Amino acid sequence: MSAFHNVCQHRGARLVDGTGNCRTGRFRCPWHGFVYDLQGAVGAVPLRESFDPVELEGLRAPAVRVVEWGGWIWMMLSDDELLLSCYHEDAVDDHGMFVGDREEFADWVVGMHSATHLSHQHCLFNHTCDLDGDVAHAETYYMFAGMNREGTALVTSGGR
């Protein structure tokens, strides 16, 4: 069982609209015709010779973690690798209730959300980044909504 982000890696088009199944075993981008297999790899590329081969090497739709739990299939849109890719290697994350390096933060936040929420969404806005030589300070405001495993069904919060 596998799942992928619904976006073409060439120019960002939505690969699939609506619901259904894939009888052909392939998905074709409606914009430029890139073809993806059921493992997310790009196979056919129109005008392949016009691309630098390095650009196409290993090109695939980003995978989404899929698990079966309680008779349901769940897609986990966040994972450590994706989260870590958003941080500079030397970054320190200050979430108020947590302060630490990027690996510590990934362990904390993925564990915390997995233990307390069935699902959750973050909305980020008003991101600023101040540069002072080779030091950067970034600040982002967020809104959060989560479906709790226990207690109050829905929780919302916001902050920076």
Q: What is the mean pLDDT of residues 128-156?
A: 86
118 and 144 part of one domain? yes
Indicate the number of domains in the chain: 2
Q: What is the DSSP string of 74-131?
A: EEE---HHHHHTTS-TT-EEE-SS-EEEHHHHHHHHHHHHHHHEEEEEEEEEEEEEEE
CATH number of the structural domain spanning residue 108: 3.10.450.50
Question: End of a domain among 76, 98, 125?
Answer: 76
Dihedral sign for Cα 106, 118, 95, 88, please.
Answer: positive
Domain residue limits at 31? 1-76
CATH number at residue 65: 2.102.10.10
Alpha-helical segments (H) within 9-74: 53-56
CB within 8 A of 6, min separation 6: which ones?
Answer: 14, 15, 16, 61
The pLDDT score that the predictor gives to residue 48 is 93
Question: Is the domain of 31 the same as that of 91?
Answer: no
pLDDT recorded at residue 30: 92
Tell me the average pLDDT of the chain.
Answer: 85
Q: pLDDT by residue (tens digit) across 91-119?
A: 888 877 889 998 898 888 888 888 888 88
Does residue 77 surpass a pLDDT of 80? no
Q: What percent of the chain has pLDDT over 90?
A: 25
Q: Tokens at residue 58, please?
A: 């290993």
63-73 tens-digit pLDDT: 887 877 677 88
Q: Which of 21-25, 30-34, 141-145, 153-157 has the highest mean pLDDT?
A: 30-34
92 shares its domain with 147: yes
Q: Which two tokens stand for residue 89?
A: 């290697």
Same domain, 112 and 60: no
Would the pLDDT of 37 be above 90? yes
Are 152 and 105 members of one domain? yes
Instruction: Give me the percent of the chain exceeding a pLDDT of 70.
Output: 96
The pLDDT assigned to 47 comes to: 93
**What pTM, to 2 d.p., does this model score?**
0.51
pLDDT of residue 79: 63
Choose one of 34, 61, 76: the last residue of a domain: 76
Q: Where a domain ends, among 35, 54, 76?
A: 76
pLDDT over threshold 70, residue 78: no
| Side-chain-side CA neighbours of residue 23 (13 Å) | 1
Q: Which is more confident, 72 or 24?
A: 24
